[in-house]
Amino acid sequence: DAEITQSPRHKITETGRQVTLACHQTWNHNNMFWYRQDLGHGLRLIHYSYGVQDTNKGEVSDGYSVSRSNTEDLPLTLESAASSQTSVYFCASKSGSGTDTQYFGPGTRLTVL
Amino acid sequence: GENVEQHPSTLSVQEGDSAVIKCTYSDSASNYFPWYKQELGKGPQLIIDIRSNVGEKKDQRIAVTLNKTAKHFSLHITETQPEDSAVYFCAASYGSSNTGKLIFGQGTTLQVKP
């Protein structure tokens, strides 16, 4: 069955370190999204991509970057982790046309000490 | 900027009762309104959605209503069951058409007591 996976599921890191969270989908979806989830804020969009080599900033993009070298993967990189980036991160994907439904991965819980 | 307000933040009902969660949005151009259910330790899962050209949509015990004039939409769950206990998020599309960008409400924790 097609799916969307994230790794690692849990990560503890130190302030200032670079961290990369992986997202992989097997639906062949063109559109992929990264969100962070914090109490009281729901889910907020960090970055998104509409296809290979396309990346765009969302509403809370400072301190994060993404790259899209193939259809299946959209890794999220924290260039220099800060305690304010402690959160649960979700990746989602959506077909480029014909449907609005976004499918979410299981999430990565990141703790920055 | 775009905003979605969701109420209540917590909701406790007895099994068999109905539950209603309400959201308001700010962007009059929003045309797609999904509702997601999130169980503990899992990612959000779409349970129902509605587009702006429809006022109401039902799927078994779940219904969503949309009032575009007032810019609010609601989730109705009838005959609640303990397995309905979860966090529910509303969302509204924003940006140009078909961007897929969503802005989410703050979430409602629903507890269904047996």
The pLDDT score that the predictor gives to residue B99 is 75
Do residues B46 and A101 lie in contact, with contact meaning Cβ atoms separated by under 8 Å? yes
Cβ distance A102 to B34 less than 8 Å, yes or no, reads yes
Share of chain A above pLDDT 70, in %: 96
Cβ distance B44 to A43 less than 8 Å, yes or no, reads yes
> Is pLDDT at A110 greater than 70 in this prediction?
yes
Share of chain B above pLDDT 70, in %: 97
- Per-residue pLDDT of A35-67, as tens digits, reads 999 988 889 999 999 999 999 999 999 999 999
Could you give phi then psi for residue A85, rounded to 5 degrees?
Answer: -95, 5
> Is pLDDT at A72 greater than 70 in this prediction?
yes
Alpha carbon of A15: minimum distance to chain B alpha carbons (Å): 25
Could you give phi then psi for residue B83, rounded to 5 degrees?
Answer: -70, -5
- Per-residue pLDDT of B48-101, as tens digits, reads 999 988 899 999 999 999 999 999 999 999 999 999 999 999 999 987 666 788
How does DSSP assign A40-77, residue by residue?
TTEEEEEEEEEETTEEEE-TT-TTEEE--SSSSB--EE
Interface probe, candidates A38, A89, A102, A108, chain B, greatest B C-beta count within 10 A: A102
Q: Which two tokens stand for residue A102?
A: 């976004």
The pLDDT score that the predictor gives to residue A98 is 66
- Mean pLDDT (chain A) is 94
Q: Which two tokens stand for residue B38?
A: 């999130």
Do residues B25 and B71 lie in contact, with contact meaning Cβ atoms separated by under 8 Å? yes
Nearest CB partner across the interface for B46, out of A31, A48, A101: A101
Cβ distance B107 to A104 less than 8 Å, yes or no, reads no
Q: Which residue of A has its CA nearest to B2?
A: A59
Q: Nearest 10 degrees: CA dihedral of A25, A27, A28, A29?
A: -80
Is the CB of B42 inside 8 Å of chain A's CB atoms? yes
Is the CB of A88 inside 8 Å of chain B's CB atoms? no
Alpha carbon of B107: minimum distance to chain A alpha carbons (Å): 6
**A35 contacts on B by Cβ (under 8 Å):** 104
